Amino acid sequence: METVGIGVVGFWHVHANDYAREALRHSRTRLVAGWDQDETIAREGAEVLGIELERDLDALLARPDVDAVTITTATSDHTDVIRRAIAAGKHVFTEKLLAPTVAECEALVREAEAAGVQLVVSLPRLSEATTVAVRDLIESGDLGTVTYARVRLAHDGWLAGWLPERFADPATAIGGVFADLGCHPAYLIQHFLGTRPATISATYGAVTGRDVEDNAVVVSRYPNGAVGVAEASFVTRPGAFAFEVRGTEASVLFGFGSDVLTATGGRFGDEGWVEVELPDAPLQPFDLWIDAIEAGADASANRAAAIELTRLVVAANASAHSRQTIDFQA
C-alpha cells in the first residue's frame, strides 16, 4: 500500500484527536473517516478533523480504504471494539488500557497475532529519551541495585474543567485517575523495577467528590525489597511530571524543578547533581505501529508491557477498594 488509510474509532477519549493528527502528520498515513456511538461527539470530532463520519462501526470497518484504526472509545468498550476490528482485518492502535482485565488483554493479543493484525498500545513515555537513559544506567549497573523508584504525573483537568465528565463514570472508564493518567507512572515503575512486584498497596482520594478517584498513590514492594511509588492526580496545578530512581551506587532525578535529567553518586561523583547525556529516543508508539504494518517491525514488547500494565492497574484498584495490601497475582 502506498499509504495506510486510518479510521478513528471512538471520540470518547481526550487523545482521540491527538492520534488522528498523528495520522495527518505521518508521511505514510492518511486519515479517512471516523465513528462513535455517541452521535454528538462523533459529529464534533469529525468536523474538527475534516473527515467523513460513518454512522455505523461495521460500515467503517468494512471500508476498503480503511487499513487500520485508532481506538479511543470508552475503556469498557475496548474488548468488543478491538475484537471486531481484528476480525475485519484492520490493524489496531489503541489508547491504554488495552482492556479492563488481563484475560481480555491476553485474548486480544492472541487474536491479533493469529490474524496477522498489528496491535500497538499507546505507552509513549517508554519511548522518551530520559526513560531510555535511566534504563541504560540500570542495565549497566551504574546505579548499583535499584532500591526505590517514584514517578508522579498530574494535571489540573478537574480543577480547570477541561477533562470531560465521562471520565468520572467508573463503569465506562474502568476507574478514575489511576486507570487513566496513572497508567504512565505505573508502566514506568514496571520498566524501572520489574513487572511483577510482591505486593501492591493503593490509596485513592476524591478531592472533587466524584464517583472515582482523582488523586492516587500506589506502592509496589518487590521481592528484593525495592519499593516503587506511582502517583497520579487530576487535581494538581500546575501539572507535573517527575521521577526519581535511587540505587545502592547512584541516583537520578527528573522534573523536580528542572527539565534536565541529573545524577549523583557512583561514577557521577558525590559533589552534587550533574546532567546526564541523553541517547536517541526510540520510535514513538504510533510510528512503531506504522513500521509494524509496513515493514513487520516487532511490537511484541509493547504488547507485553500493555498486558502487565493492566495486571498492575487491576491489582491497584483491588487494593484501593478493599483498603488492604494485596499479594500481586502472577
> pLDDT tens digit string along 122-146?
999 999 999 999 999 999 999 999 9
Question: Is the pLDDT assigned to residue 155 strictly greater than 80?
Answer: yes
The per-residue pLDDT of the chain, averaged, comes to 96
SS3 category, 97? coil
Question: What per-residue confidence (pLDDT) applies to 164?
Answer: 96
Strands across the sheet containing 52-53: 52-53, 29-35, 4-9, 68-71, 91-94, 119-121
Question: Is the pLDDT assigned to residue 1 strictly greater than 60?
Answer: no
Query: Of 304, 148, 126, 120, which is closest to residue 220 (Cα–Cα)?
Result: 148
Query: Of 106, 113, 22, 37, which is closest to residue 69 (Cα–Cα)?
Result: 22
> pLDDT tens digit string along 257-306?
989 999 999 999 999 999 999 999 889 999 999 999 999 999 999 999 99
> pLDDT tens digit string along 61-118?
999 999 999 999 999 999 999 999 999 999 999 999 999 999 999 999 999 999 999 9
Question: Is the pLDDT assigned to residue 165 strictly greater than 90?
Answer: yes
Quick one: cell of 17? 484527536
Question: What per-residue confidence (pLDDT) applies to 189?
Answer: 98
> pLDDT tens digit string along 193-222?
999 999 999 999 999 999 999 999 999 999
Cα of first residue to Cα of last residue in the chain, in angstroms, is 41
What span, in angstroms and rounded, lies between the C-alpha atoms of 88 and 66? 10
Quick one: average pLDDT of 151-176?
96
CA distances from 188 to 95, 115, 135, 150, 243 (A): 16, 30, 10, 9, 9
Question: Is the pLDDT assigned to residue 330 strictly greater than 80?
Answer: no
Query: Of 81, 79, 65, 66, which is closest to residue 11 (Cα–Cα)?
Result: 81
All structural domains of the chain, each given as residue ranges with its CATH number in brackets, are: 4-117 (3.40.50.720), 125-283+312-327 (3.30.360.10)
Question: What per-residue confidence (pLDDT) applies to 2?
Answer: 84
What span, in angstroms and rounded, lies between the C-alpha atoms of 187 and 97? 11
Quick one: cell of 160? 480547570
> pLDDT tens digit string along 217-236?
999 999 999 999 999 999 99
pTM of this structure? 0.96
SS3 category, 263? strand
Which residues make Cβ contacts (< 8 Å) with residue 114, sequence separation at least 6? none
Question: What per-residue confidence (pLDDT) applies to 70?
Answer: 98
Question: What per-residue confidence (pLDDT) applies to 329?
Answer: 67
Query: Of 138, 140, 126, 139, which is closest to residue 281 (Cα–Cα)?
Result: 126
